[in-house]
Amino acid sequence: MPVVTLRYFATLRESRGVESEPFTVAEGETAASVYAKVFPREHAGGLRVAFAVNRSYVPPGEVLVEGDELCFLPPLGGG
pLDDT score, position 46: 77
Given pLDDT bands bounded at 50, 70 and 90, which one contains residue 79?
low
Q: Do the domain assignments include residue 79?
A: no
Q: Can you give the CATH number for the domain in which 26 is found? A: 3.10.20.30
Q: Are 39 and 47 in contact (CB under 8 A)?
A: yes
Count of domains for the chain: 1
Residue 78 covered by a domain: no
Distance between CA 33 and CA 75 in Å, rounded?
A: 19
Taking the CA atoms of residue 49, residue 58, residue 25 and residue 16 in that order, the dihedral angle to the nearest 10 degrees is -30
Q: Which residues pair with 61 in a beta bridge?
A: none
- Each residue's pLDDT tens digit, 10-20: 989 999 999 99
pLDDT confidence of residue 73: 94
In a domain, 44, yes or no: yes
Residue 41 lies in a domain: yes
Domain contains 52 = yes
d(CA 68, CA 45) in angstroms, rounded, equals 27
Q: What is the per-residue pLDDT across 7-57, written as a single tens digit (0 to 9) for each?
A: 999 989 999 999 999 999 999 999 999 999 999 988 777 778 999 999 999
Q: Residue type for 29, please? A: E
